[in-house]
Structure 1
Amino acid sequence: MKLYNLALSNFASKSRVAIYEKGLDIELVDPPGGLGSAEYKKVNPLGKVPALDIGGQLIAESEVINEYLEDKFPEKPLLPKDPEGKARVRSFTRHHDLYLEPPIRALFGQMSPKTRDAKVVEEKLADVTTRLDQVEAMLAPNGPWATGNMFTLADAALTPTLFFAVNLLPAFGAKSPLEGRPKLTAWWGRVQERPSTKKVLGEQAAAMAAMQRRG
C-alpha cells in the first residue's frame, strides 16, 4: 500500500495519524507532478491528497481511507464497538470536515497581507470562533480524548486542523483558539505528547517552516 500525501495537508495528516496509530507499513509518496497536476489526475482524478493505493485500486478522501483502514486492520481500533460510540465519533469527524475545517482553510489562503481580503478574513474568523465553540461543547467532559476514554478517528481528524488554528489565528490578530476553551486546551496538551499525533504535528511544523522559508 502507498498513500499519496503532503506533510502540510491536514486531510493527509488525518490519515497519517491513523496509519501511525495502527503501526501500519504504508509507503508515503508525494503526488507525481504535484497536487492537482495532469500527471497526478491520471492516478487520482480528484487531484487531491490523501489517496490510498491498494494494489492498483485507489481510495480517495481521508475519512473513507481511515474507515477502510479501520475495517482492514481492526487490531488497534480507532472506533468504539458499540453503535452509539461509533455515531459519536462519526458526528465529530463530520463536524470537522463540513464545518470546522473549511473556514480555517479559507484563512490559509488569506495569509499574504498584499492580497488579503479584510471582509473575508472577518467572516471566516467569526465562523471559526463559532465552530471552535461547538468543538468545546462536543468534547467529552472528562476526556481524555475527543469522545471519551478511547483515542479515535475524531482525534485523528481534529489534531491536524487545530495545528492550523493555533498557528494561523494569531497571524490575523485573533486570540488563541485555546483561550476560554478549557476542554480543548487540555485535549491539545495531550495530543502533543501522544506518539502518533506528536509525529504528525512535527511533520506539519517542518513543512510549514519550509513553506515560509520559500516565501
Structure 2
Amino acid sequence: MRFCPFAQRTRLVLAHKNIPHETVNVHLRPVEAKPNWFLERNPLGLVPVLEKDGKIVYESVVCNEYLEAMYPEKKLLPSDPFELAQQKMLQERLGKMTGPAMKYRMSGGSEETFSELQNFMKLPEEVLGKQGNFFAGDNVGMIDYNLWPFFERVETYTVIFNREILPKDKFPRLRAYIERMMSLPAVKECYTTPEQMLEFGKSSEGGNPNYDLGLKE
C-alpha cells in the first residue's frame, strides 16, 4: 500500500539495491476489499509481501533482511555480529517515536503532546552526534531505511499543524540528517509529499481511503 510506512521500508531497500521488481498495490480497508489472492500469500492481510519464484516472505524487517541476504550488493547491514546487534537495538529504541508522534497527531497538535514528541526527538539528535552522518554510521544502512518512513511522517505534521517539530536551532543534526536522506536516490524514488500524505489521511478519516491518490493512469 503506497502510504504504508512498513511497505515503504521494503520499497526503499528495493530501490537502494536496484532490484528489478513489479509493484502491486492493494486496498487494505475495508477488510473485505482485500483480494483473496493477497490473503492467500499473507493470511495476516498486511503489507509488504515479497514473492519470487513461488517463495513468499512478509513483515517489513523480515523482507528487508531477506533482500539483504539474497542481494548482498550495496550492503546495508554490518557483518560484525555485535555491531549488527547494536544497530538492531538502536532501531528498537528509535522506533518508539511512533508512540509520541501518533499521540501528537491524534490530539490535534496539543501543547502537551508537542512537548512530549520534541523531548523524544532529543534521543536521535544525541545518537547522531555519536554515529556520524547516518544512524548506521558514515554511510546509509538498513536502520536508516527502516526508520525513515516515520521521520518522513513526522515532517508531515509540520504541514498539518503549521508548527515546525524539528527546528534547526534545536535539532541541527536531525535537520542535516533529513536533508542527507532526502538527497538519496532511493528516498527520492519512494518519497510521498506532506501534502499527499495529508490528503490521504483526510480520506482515511472519512472512512473511504483514496489508495489511488496521485497515481497516473
TM-score for both structures, normalised by structure 1:
0.77
Would the aligned equivalents of 1:17 and 1:196 in 2 still touch at CA under 8 Å? Answer: yes
Secondary structure, counterpart of 1:159 in structure 2: helix
Secondary structure, counterpart of 2:130 in structure 1: coil
Would the aligned equivalents of 1:139 and 1:184 in 2 still touch at CA under 8 Å? Answer: yes
Structure 1 pair 49–107 and aligned structure 2 pair: CA distance change class (3 A): farther
Is 1:72 the counterpart of 2:67? The answer is no
1:146-169 per-residue CA deviation (whole Å, 9 max, x = no partner) reads 231121011102222111111214
Q: Which runs of 5+ in 1 are unaligned?
A: 1-5, 111-116
Is 1:136 the counterpart of 2:98? The answer is no
1:85-110 per-residue CA deviation (whole Å, 9 max, x = no partner) reads 2123212322243x1123324545x3
The aligned counterpart of 2:7 is 12
Q: Which runs of 5+ in 2 are unaligned?
A: 207-217
Deviation at 1:16, TM superposition (A): 1.1
Would the aligned equivalents of 1:107 and 1:124 in 2 still touch at CA under 8 Å? Answer: yes
Which of 85, 88, 108 matches 2:86? 88
Which of 24, 27, 37 matches 1:29? 24
1:106-151 per-residue CA deviation (whole Å, 9 max, x = no partner) reads 545x3xxxxxx46x95564344223311111222536222231121
Q: Percent identity?
A: 25
Which letter does structure 2 place at the counterpart of 1:100?
M
Deviation at 1:24, TM superposition (A): 0.6
Distance 2:86 2:20 in 1: 29
Distance 2:59 2:100 in 1: 19
Distance 2:129 2:82 in 1: 14
Is 1:184 the counterpart of 2:174? The answer is yes
Distance 1:172 1:92 in 2: 29
Is 1:61 the counterpart of 2:50? The answer is no
Distance 1:14 1:206 in 2: 20
Is 1:154 the counterpart of 2:149? The answer is no
Is 1:175 the counterpart of 2:169? The answer is no
The aligned counterpart of 1:52 is 50
1:61-88 per-residue CA deviation (whole Å, 9 max, x = no partner) reads 2111111111111121101121232123
- Tell me whether 99-108 or 161-170 shows the greater mean CA deviation: 99-108
Which of 172, 178, 185 matches 1:195? 185
1:164-199 per-residue CA deviation (whole Å, 9 max, x = no partner) reads 111214534643224411211111111111111122
Would the aligned equivalents of 1:96 and 1:157 in 2 still touch at CA under 8 Å? Answer: no
Structure 1 pair 82–45 and aligned structure 2 pair: CA distance change class (3 A): same
The aligned counterpart of 1:114 is none
Structure 1 pair 212–18 and aligned structure 2 pair: CA distance change class (3 A): same
Distance 2:114 2:56 in 1: 35
